[in-house]
Amino acid sequence: MEPLDTAPDPQILMQLVTMEMPFGKYKGRVLCYLPVSYLEWFQRKGFPPGKLGMLLTTLYVIKLNGLEQLLDPIKKMNPKK
């Protein structure tokens, strides 16, 4: 049995550090800088469909599990806030 590849997808991590929230209270804020409370709100109400929902869900899991250091190298390459 082959082990599962659990390495995070670098393209998804890059999008979390470069893509801006397109609507709502935090419109214009880069996704990785969204507060956990906002992600928790989406968790309760439902994440949006499609790519944005997948990215927000991924970010929620990263922050919930204390894995934000995964984003640090990419943030240094893209210091946009």
Q: What is the pLDDT of residues 22-81, one digit of tens each?
A: 999 999 999 999 999 999 999 999 999 999 999 999 999 999 999 999 899 888 887 665
Distance separating alpha carbons of residues 11 and 40, to the nearest angstrom: 24
Q: What pLDDT score was predicted for residue 32? A: 96
Q: What pLDDT score was predicted for residue 2? A: 56
Which of left, alpha, beta for 30 (phi over 0: left; psi -120 to 50: alpha)? beta
**3-state SS, residue 81:** coil
- Section 2-21 average pLDDT: 82
Does position 1 have pLDDT exceeding 80, yes or no?
Answer: no
Q: What is the pLDDT of residues 8-17, one digit of tens each?
A: 788 999 999 9
Distance separating alpha carbons of residues 24 and 6, to the nearest angstrom: 32
